[in-house]
Amino acid sequence: MPVKKSPAIKSSRPGRKVVAKKAPLKKAPLKKAPGVKLAAAKPARGKRKPVGPDAVREIFTRFQAVNPEPKGELEYVNPFTLLVAVVLSAQATDVGVNKATRSLFAVADTPEKMVALGEDAIREYVKTIGLFRNKAKNVYALSQLLIEKHSSEVPRERDVLETLPGVGRKTANVVLNMAFGQETIAVDTHLFRVSNRIPLALGATPLAIELGLEKIIPPQFMRHAHHWLILHGRYVCKARRPECERCVISDLCTSPEKRV
């Protein structure tokens, strides 16, 4: 019996034939045989849960016992110089900022003196700090605004502080906490890592961590909470190798990175 050939389709090119492709076969739905269980899909891996309220209280109780009055490491003489120091500390170490500001604050510890010094001179004082050109510009500009709009006083409101050049939410929170004793949480890279690692509050952004911590930290610890967490992250719960062997809260931490 002769074999039937697939029907030819005319091609746009003369003398060439194109063979039509057969339609793919549809697979029949999988049926369960009697007495046989189909494999269930694996459940998605659950997210880590923050430690409970009792653990949170115990964590900060231990931090307080070890360091009752934690201090920030930036050097300053008044709210204005603190504001300047924090603006300069963005993407820089506190040690490096302190080296530059000791001589700067000796000659300019008020907005008026800073403006009189001028942007070029400010730049010379802070040239050892990263991004020093833009930072010098911001320090000069914020000093001008403090004189013109705030009677040379550092504002005590976060939203007002954030209108100043070079001042973001973290900077504003540091100034409000350290200069005026307000219960704010300034989330830097160390605090962000520690909070997610323990975990206390989980979040993908500094703001999420800040708001999460505000909900769970007992009121008596709020004043110093961010300092304890920053110092813990800087000197113990380090990014590359957390020093769990000397951590005072290692038994309360549930991090998969824990080394003890």
User: Any idea which residues carry the catalytic annotation?
Assistant: 170, 188
User: Per-residue b/e over 88-106, b at no fewer than 16 CB within 10 Å?
Assistant: bbbebebeebbebbeebbe
Is the Cα dihedral 187, 215, 59, 239 positive or negative? Answer: negative
The Cα–Cα gap between 251 and 60 comes to 14
User: Cis link prior to 53 (omega < 30° from 0)?
Assistant: no
The Cα–Cα gap between 156 and 176 comes to 6
Amino acid, res. 19: V
Q: Compute CA 58 distance to the chain's CA centroid, rounded to the nearest angstrom.
A: 24
The Cα–Cα gap between 12 and 18 comes to 10
